[in-house]
Structure 1
Amino acid sequence: MKTTLNHEENIQYFYAGFLFEEYVDFNLFKETVIKAGFNVNDKENINDIYEHIVNNEDWSHKKTLDKIYFESILYSHLKNVYVHTFNKLSIELFKQNIDKILRELKTDSNVSTNFQRQMNKDGFYLMDALNVTVPGSTFISGLDYVEKHGEIQKARLLLVQTIKNAENKNKYFIAGIEFNFIEKTCLIMIRNIPKIKEPDENSSDYNRSVSSLYNYVKSRIIKKIVGNITVINRDNDRESMYKICKELDEKLLKDVRQEVNDKSYKTVVDSVAQYMKKLYSVNERPGSHDREGLVRNIQSLLLSNYINNKFDAKQLVKKAKKLNLVGYTTKLKFKGNNANTGSTRSSSSKHPVSASDMFHSLYINFEGAKELEHWGISWFTDTKFTDEKDINVIQTTIYSTSKHFKIVFLPKNPLNEEIINYVVKQLNKQRSLVPVNE
């Protein structure tokens, strides 16, 4: 690694942000840097890009690069997204609370004093400068604010904990946190790191799973910054997720379901009546409710057969896009009114569950359900619906418990700020969020 000198500032520059790089898609990072106006076409790693810009550009341009690095870490691979809301909070009080957190973390962060002085409540980027290798070290590597028309709309930060992986190598376990002051939402975004090694007797304790880091951030960071977060109403959340899922299915299959019903209903009803006569004596025949249920089940199976013979998965996806649906369901686990549960899933993110036989065989139970424990949805990435032919999707699984509302983004490809916030906003539209202290 080279040592470079910025003559304007008369300070030596060392790039040290190697442990952050696994959180960044380099090609996307480089593309963004080029779009920002920097000539780095021949650079092959983040180190080289930083050293080129520090050596050849005005020092003030480094902040632009720092912001790109910060956002690349925050929005690319932190795919376990926990959603909370909070009550109204002034920016002044927010910054005061941030200042307290920074002072607490500096005590045992193992960050050098020189960089600690740069960690202040008004914002900083230190991802390229920090190489903290002491296991258990916990620190904030970046903090910034997003303003519009002179008003702060968002605050974002990266909380980092140094851990050891199964190969005994130092790694960063990162939680990205975004506070949206307009919508009063707080996102905690974490990447899963498998097989984190237990701390040895000479190391400070650290978190070893997504859930444990989430709980740490929630209790040690979020509550200290925003005070009270909104209570999670599991039953309402599950019911609202069911409503979204059912609405997507009904809109996608409305005309097909109506066509099958129009062409077959009378025949099915007459056939069921004939079956009843042949199978049961007059006193044994099921009542009208059971007969209606049987008719609906047969109708559902006929619909499944009709869809399988008339449509392939891609045609249904194209139809969903043409209807301007946000996406389509790919899996679900539901709980019915009679406490029975059912679950089904499609073969991939590009196959709506509505095309599967299992979904239609369970449809009557699903139709009578009242909540979803978890479900999968593929979202169209063309969120503004500018191109009907663009049917690219991004798949998520949504989990609802009494402790959290969690969205897991499933693709290996990097995410971006727009799609994360779009999905959160679409789901929050349907959720019942009561501003009660937790």
Structure 2
Amino acid sequence: MEIQDVYLFNGNHFLPYVNVPTFKKKIPTNFMIPLDEHTSMREIFENASKDERRSLRKLLFENILYSDLKHIYLYKINSPMTISNVNFKKSMNNIVKDMNNNQYFNGELASVISADKPFYLLDRIGSNSIGLKFIAGMDFEEEDNKIVKARVIFVEVVSRKEVPYYNIVGVEFNFKEKFFMLMSKWLSGVDKSNLDVEDSMHYDHSISSSIKRVLDKIVTPLGIKTSHDVEKDRKGIFELCQSLDNELLSEFRDIVSQKIDDQLKTSTEVLFESLFEDSEKKVSVFEKENYIKRSKALMLSSYITTTQSAAKIVAKAKELKLVGYTTRITFQTSKMSRGSTESASARKPIAASDLFHSLYINFQQALRLQLFSIAWFTDYNFKAPKDRDVIQTTIYAQANSFKIVFRARRLLEEDIIYHVVRNINEYRQY
């Protein structure tokens, strides 16, 4: 009598990272798996055929990469500009061998762990060993014997509220577009590592330390070098913010200018003449022009807050086919003064805020933005004019890193992540 292999789903530790509805939608219709809203991931995998399970593993791998890893560290690839498939596989095999050297990966799992071809272990790993670090999946795309894209899921088992929890960092190298991103999730309640145990059982307690570990263990061994210029990054996101501001408010500024320019110039002369009539010193032309600019900014604020609602401004941004609108900025001027303004929610542009307009001239004089939040339209192909759904991100241009944080509670998808990253990369040209 022939003994049949018995498959059991063992990927429960990965489920907190899975967007289950999206996963189900992407299951091919020809798969002979009974599906409804109550079908669990265990049932899906255990009812699948062996061939179907191979496809499901890739779907699960992609789903985890692009769903809940909302802290994205973005790096420009400086060198190598291309990497041969032979060199990549050789280096990656060494990395996998170093990372997955625990006895847990002996036996059946050892036979499928090789960087010579993609592998996905996420439904087959259920270790509770605190401090264990491993690569749970890896794949790549090749063109003309070169690697054009590679993806990795790195896992570290941490203690969270005294229960084993998988801390995941997703890695994606895009050699065609010359960048890579490290994607992580903020975890609360991670217990302090026991310093009395051996080093291999220590684990990271913060996103930044997890990111550093991946840089050291995966990026550096692949020979990938990056370039980072914080001043150019801050200038770049300032230009993105300024571009959105100019396009959204140009019509309103024109209206205000047409209505008050002549009167404002006349009244400015009268006011300054009256104020300094007994003074030997006269006010400079620059000072008068600066006063006019600030007055116009405040008049624009009054005009917008009186005639427009936040909803109307959002509708205007969508009508203009902007990628989104600004909801928060923190900037520094040439005089080293700092300014900051933010709206109450993702659905309220800072253009609807009095504070933004009162700081507008300072913003125009800013050298750089240190922090910038933008609400992105999810209907970025503009197929549904009345669809004004947005997803908010905050962009941090820091001394040693460039980070995008998706603020939405909802789970993400690959398309929206790439839409945001590509638009931001347009302003990081160095």
TM-score range relative to shorter protein: over 0.9
Q: Provide the residue aligned with 1:130 in structure 2.
A: 125
Determine the C-alpha separation between the residues in 2 that align with 1:8 and 1:395.
56
Partner residue, 2:245:
249
Partner of 2:54: 63
Deviation track 1:332-355 (CA, whole Å, cap 9, x = no partner) reads: 001111111101001111111111
Tell me which moved more, 297-306 or 379-388: 379-388
Structure 1 partner of 2:64: 73
Counterparts of 1:8 and 1:413 in 2: how far apart (Å)? 47
**What does residue range 76-225 of structure 1 map to in structure 2 within 5 Å?**
76-86=67-77, 87=79, 88=81, 89-108=83-102, 110-121=104-115, 122-146=117-141, 153-165=148-160, 167-200=161-194, 201-202=196-197, 204-225=201-222
Q: Which amino acid aligns with 1:407?
A: I
TM-score normalised by the chain length of structure 1 = 0.92
Contact 2:85 2:142 (8 Å CA) reproduced: no
Equivalent position of 2:319 in the other structure: 322
Deviates more, 1:186-195 or 1:21-30: 21-30
Task: Provide the C-alpha distance between the structure 1 equivalents of 2:148 and 2:108, rounded to a whole number of angstroms.
Answer: 30
**1:192-248 CA distances to partner (integer Å, 9 max, x unpaired)?**
1112111223461111111110111112211112x1322111111100110110010
Structure 2 gaps of 5+ residues are: none
Match of 2:303 in 1: 306
**1:230 equivalenced with 2:198 (yes/no):** no
TM-aligned CA deviation for residue 35 of structure 1: 5.2
Q: State the 1:108 CA deviation.
A: 3.7
Q: Tell which deviates more after alignment, 346-355 or 107-116.
A: 107-116
CA distance in 2, matches of 1:91, 1:43: 42
* Matched AA of 1:428: N
Cα distance in 2 between the residues matched to 1:132 and 1:116: 15
How many Å separate the matches in 1 of 2:413 and 2:105?
A: 29
CA distance in 2, matches of 1:93, 1:45: 40
Q: Distance in 2 between matches of 1:411 and 1:149?
A: 39
Q: Using the TM superposition, name which of 407-416 and 20-29 deviates more.
A: 20-29
* CA–CA separation in structure 1 for the residues paired with 2:285 and 2:76: 47
Counterpart for residue 294 of structure 2: 297
Correspondence for 1:29? 23
Which of 272, 275, 297 matches 2:271? 275
Q: Does 1:17 align with 2:11?
A: yes
Q: How far, CA to CA, are the matches of 2:2 and 2:423 in structure 1?
A: 48
Going from structure 1 to structure 2, the CA distance change for 1:265 and 1:244 (only over 3 Å counts) comes to: same
- Paired residue secondary structure (1:399): strand
Match of 1:410 among 395, 407, 412: 407
On the 8 A contact 1:335/1:341 being kept in 2, the answer is yes
Q: Distance in 2 between matches of 1:429 and 1:163?
A: 37
Q: Equivalent pairs: percent with the same residue?
A: 32
Cα offset for 1:151? 7.4
- Write the distance in 2 (CA, Å) between the matches of 1:315 and 1:367: 24
- The question of whether the paired residues in 2 share the 8 Å contact of 1:124 and 1:144 is answered with yes
Measure, in 2, the Cα distance between the counterparts of 1:383 and 1:355: 22
Deviation of the 1:426 alpha carbon: 0.8
Given that 1:394 and 1:409 are in contact with CA atoms closer than 8 Å, whether structure 2 keeps it comes out as yes
Q: Distance in 1 between matches of 2:9 and 2:256?
A: 65
Q: Quote the residue 2:420 is aligned against.
A: 423
Q: Structure 1, residues 359-394: CA drift from partner, whole Å, max 9, x if none?
A: 000000001111100100111111222222221111
Q: Distance in 2 between matches of 1:321 and 1:372?
A: 24
Q: Secondary structure at the match of 1:76?
A: coil
Q: Deviations over 1:105-127 (max 9, x none)?
A: 12247434321331110111110
Q: 1:70 to 1:107 in 2, by over 3 A?
A: same
C-alpha spacing 1:412/1:147, structure 2 compared with 1 (3 Å)? farther
Q: Distance in 2 between matches of 1:174 and 1:16?
A: 17
Asked whether the equivalents of residues 83 and 405 of structure 1 are also in contact (C-alpha less than 8 Å), the reply is yes
Residues 237 and 431 in structure 1, CA contact (< 8 A), matched pair in contact too: yes
Q: Which moved more, 1:198-207 or 1:297-306?
A: 198-207
- Report the equivalent of 1:436: none
TM-score (norm 2): 0.93
Aligned equivalents of 1:248, 1:335: Cα separation in 2:
19
Give 1:52 deviation, angstroms.
1.4
Q: What is the number of equivalent residue pairs in this alignment?
A: 421
Aligned residue number for residue 350 of structure 1: 347
What is the letter of the counterpart of residue 293 of structure 2? Answer: R
Q: CA deviation at 1:43?
A: 4.5
Deviation at 1:36, TM superposition (A): 6.8
Letter in structure 2 aligned against 1:155: A
Q: Which runs of 5+ in 1 are unaligned?
A: 1-6, 434-438
Q: Residue 141 and residue 109 in structure 1: after superposition, are their counterparts in 2 closer, same or farther (change >3 A)?
A: farther
The question of whether the paired residues in 2 share the 8 Å contact of 1:234 and 1:402 is answered with: yes
Residues in 2 aligned to 1:35 and 1:210: alpha-carbon distance in whole angstroms: 38
Q: Is the 8 A contact 2:85 2:145 kept in 1?
A: no
